[in-house]
Structure 1
Amino acid sequence: MVKIEFLGPINKASLELEVKNLKELKEFLKQDESLKKWLDLCAVALNDEIIFDENTTFKGGDKIALLPPVGGG
């Protein structure tokens, strides 16, 4: 199991899921209408490191965070 955290304005409770990679995670999260819009906007961090490759393999105990864009100045 991996723990999924939704940061900032996404406003969702954390989940624990049995997914093997980023591609599988995105497919699961797309089933939730309130998350669909965020998936294309958010960066994804695996154990506090940004990842881009959808084939990145997850291990039990990994922490995945969806990081929405932020503004500042």
Structure 2
Amino acid sequence: MKLTCIIGDDSTIQRLAVSKLVSTHKNLTLITEYSNAIEAKQGIKKDKVDLIFLDVEIPIINGFDFLESLTKSP
């Protein structure tokens, strides 16, 4: 079973590192990456996401507040 995932992190280097790890896992499909929670929340509305790799300290809304704001949790 393949899981779809996104990355939410304001650090380009960290997004790249996680993206490389995801690409080596045969059961994960990376949909896209986001640099802030607002973009991630809008993206989740249009794409089915099973898993989020999320930084806690991201701009605008922190990672915990972002997760609490989701109506349907991945």
Q: Which has the higher contact order (CA 8 A, sep 6+)?
A: 1
User: Which has more strand, going by share of residues?
Assistant: 1
Q: Could you state the TM-score of these two structures normalised by the residue count of structure 1? A: 0.31
User: Which has more helix, going by share of residues?
Assistant: 2
Q: Could you state the TM-score of these two structures normalised by the residue count of structure 2? A: 0.31
